[in-house]
Structure 1
Amino acid sequence: MTTPAHVAIIMDGNGRWAKARGLPRLAGHRAGVEALRQSVKTASRLGIEWLTVYAFSSENWSRPPSEVSDLLGLLKLFIRRDLAELHRSGVRVRVIGERDDLQPDIRLLLEEAESLTAGNGALNLVIAFNYGGRDEIVRAMRKIAADVEAGRTSSASITPQTVSEALDTNGIPDPDLVIRTSGEMRLSNFLLWQAAYSELIFLPCLWPDFTPEQFEEALRQFSVRERRFGGRNERDVVSSSA
C-alpha cells in the first residue's frame, strides 16, 4: 500500500455528533480532541511524514462567543496537556494561519509549541489555526507586491514557486491526500492553493467517530488512486497511439 507523505484533514462534525446525543456542542468538541489525539498516533504509526489538521478557521470567529471561547479553551488544553507527550514522541508542531490579531496568550502558546518541538522529526503536525485559504493567498500577494515595489523582484519573475514560498506553508510539501469527515463534500477554504492536485476523500462519519481503522481505510482508497498531475497515464498514451 502506498503511504502518502502528507495527509490533511478537515475535522468536521463535532456539533452534529453532540446534537445527535443530546449533548452540548462543547462535548462534541472535546470528543473531537480525543479523535485528534488518536489520529496523530495513527499517522505516526503508519509512517506519514506530515499531518495537517484544520483546527480553527478564520471564519469560525463568527460563531457564538461562548462556542469560540470553548474552542480556544480546548486548544489551550490540548497544547498544555499533550505538548510534552508530542515532544517525547518526536512530533514537530507547526502552526499556519494569521497570528497578528490573536490574543497574546494564544500566540505565545502556539510559539512555545513550535519552539519546543523544532528539532523533532518523527512526524510533522501542522495545525491550521485562524486559517483561511483565501486570506493566506491575499497575505502572500501582499508580500510579493511589497517585494516588487521595493525592487527586490519584478512582476515578470513571479512564478508558482514564488507564490508557494510566500504562503504560510513555505517549506511544507503539498498534501497528497485531503480527508474530510461528516459527509460534506467541499474544501471550505482549506489549503486552496496547496490542494490543487491532492486526492480528496469524503467520509460519512462525524469527526469524533473517526477511528484508526477509518484512517487506514482512507489510505487504502488513496493507494489505488492514479495520480496524473494534469498528465496522462501510460494506458491513455498506448490507446491514443494504437
Structure 2
Amino acid sequence: MTITLITGANKGIGFETARQLLALGHVVYIGARDIERGEKAATELGARFVQLDVTDDASVSSALATIDSAEGRLDVLVHNAGILGLGATDGPTALQAFDTNAVGIVRVTEAALPLLRKSSNPTVVTVSSSAGSFWAVTNPDRPEFNLPLALYSASKSAATMLTVQYAKSQPGIKFNAIEPGTTATDLTAAFGVGRAPEESARVVVRLATLDADGPTGTFQDEHGEVPW
C-alpha cells in the first residue's frame, strides 16, 4: 500500500488527484481546513480525512500524528492547498498568500519528514505555477505575461524554490514542483478559463507515482521541465 496525503483536497485538482491515486491503489488522506467539506469529499471518494489547515502549526502536527498512528509512515505528500491572494496588494493580503502558498509548504514538509523517511520510495509534489516563473511572466507569448496576480505569482516562486532547496537538503526524498495547467476550479472562476480538473490531476499523478530512481529538484508541466 502507498500512503498518500494531499493538502487542500476537498475540491478541484486535489480532489481529482485523490480520485486517480485511489484508483491506482493508494491509501489517500484528504487534508482540508473545513471538517464538513473534507469528510464529505473523503466519503464520496472512499478516502480518509484529516483536518489540516496549512496555516496552523497545531493543525498540521495533529494531522501528521494521526497518519503516523494509523500508518507509521508516509510515502507521498502532495502540497496542493493554495489561494490566489486577491484583493488589495497590501501587507495583510501578502502575508495570507505567502502563509498559505509558501510557509504552509514548510509547515507540512517539516512535520512530514520523519514519516517520509520511513518510506521505501518517498515522494513530495508541490502544485506550483508557471505564474511564478520569471521566464513565463516576461515572455509576451505566454499567458502568464498578462496575469495580474502579483502575490500569487511571487508566492509560487517561493514554493518552487522551496521544492528545489528541499531536494538538495533531503537527497533521500524526491521533491518536484508541477505546473498543472490552467484549470477550471473555484480558484480560477473569476477568470472563466481552464480545463477540467481531472486533466490537470493527471499531471500531478505522474509526479506522485515516480519510481525510486525518478527525478528530483525539478519544475515540470505535462511536457517536461519548465524554465523558471
For the criterion TM > 0.5, the same-fold answer is no
Structure with the greater alpha carbon radius of gyration:
1
TM-score by length of 2: 0.39
**TM-score under structure 1 length normalisation:** 0.38
